[in-house]
Amino acid sequence: MIIAGSIFKACFVQPAMDVRVLRLNGEEVATVPLDAAADVRALKHAIAEIDGTPAILQQLIWKDQPLDDSAQAPLLAAQLDASAPVILVKKDLVQTQDAEAKKLIGRYGSKYRPQHHFFWAVHEGNVLATGGLLRLPGVDVDGEMLPTDFDDAKRQHEWPYRSFDGRYEDRALHLAVRCRDEASVELLLSCRADPELRNDNRETPMDIAMGKGKRWKSAFMQPRDFGGSPERILELLRGASGR
C-alpha cells in the first residue's frame, strides 16, 4: 500500500543506470547515478540533497513493492529495469511520526507511561517517534529525567535505572544535547522545550553544549554520540534562549 502524500516518479535509464526523478506531471526533479549510492538509504540521501525531500520521509516503490533500505546498489541494479518506474512517495510527516511512536511503544512495552517512551525515544535518537510521542497526553517536553521513575522497567530495560549516563533532573533537551543529536534538539526546541531549565547540577543544555556538563561519577556509560554539529546545536540553543 502506498502512503498518501506527494508522489514523484523515477525511471531508470540504461545503460548508465541513472535514476531520473520525475513529478507525475513529467517535470524532472533530479537525476541520480545509481552507482553513486551504496544502498537505498544513500540513494534517498542523494535525492534529498537535490530535491529537498528528507530521506526519512521518502518511500521508494517498485512494481508495487517497497524497496528495502538495506538493499545494496548492485542488487538494485540487477533487479530494476526500465520496464517499470520507481515511485518516490513523500510520506506525511505526522502519519510517519505517529507510526514510529506506535512501533517504539510496542517495542518497549505498552505497560509503561508515555513519558517513559518519550525519554527512551530521545535516548535512542528516534526523532520521528519523539515527534509522535509529544502529541500524546501525559508527555511533558520539559519533564524531569529521574531514573528512579523507571524502577518498574529496570528488569526489562537497562537504561536509565541501571545505566544512567546523565544527571538527575536532566530534561529531554539536556539528553539530546549530551548525545549531540542535532535533529532531536531542533525538534524539542520547536515544541517549546525550555533551554533555560537546569538539572540537579545547575546545568542548562547550553552548559552541556559548551562542554561544561558533568555525568554522575558512578555512570559507566558514555553518552551516545549521534554526530551532530556542536556549532549548530549551540546556534539552535542561542536562538531559543529568552524567547
Q: Domains in the chain, start-ordered, CATH in brackets?
A: 5-91 (3.10.20.90), 95-240 (1.25.40.20)
The pLDDT of residue 14 is 45
Strand, helix or coil for residue 227: coil
Confidence check: pLDDT of 206 > 90? yes
Dihedral (CA of 156, 172, 220, 215) sign: negative
Q: Band of the pLDDT at 2, cuts 50, 70, 90?
A: very low
Pick the range with the lowest mean pLDDT from 32-36, 43-47, 189-193. Answer: 32-36
Mean pLDDT of all residues in the chain?
A: 83
The pLDDT of residue 135 is 96
Q: Band of the pLDDT at 180, cuts 50, 70, 90?
A: very high
Asked whether the beta carbons of 232 and 182 are under 8 A apart, the reply is yes
Mean pLDDT within 145-156 = 94
CA-derived radius of gyration, the chain: 21
What CA–CA distance (Å, rounded) separates 137 from 199?
Answer: 24
Half-sphere exposure of 61 (CA within 13 A, CB side): 16
Confidence check: pLDDT of 24 > 90? no
Whole-prediction pTM: 0.76
Strand, helix or coil for residue 175: helix
Q: Which helix (H) or strand (E) holds 39?
A: none
Please give the single-letter amino acid code of residue 89. V
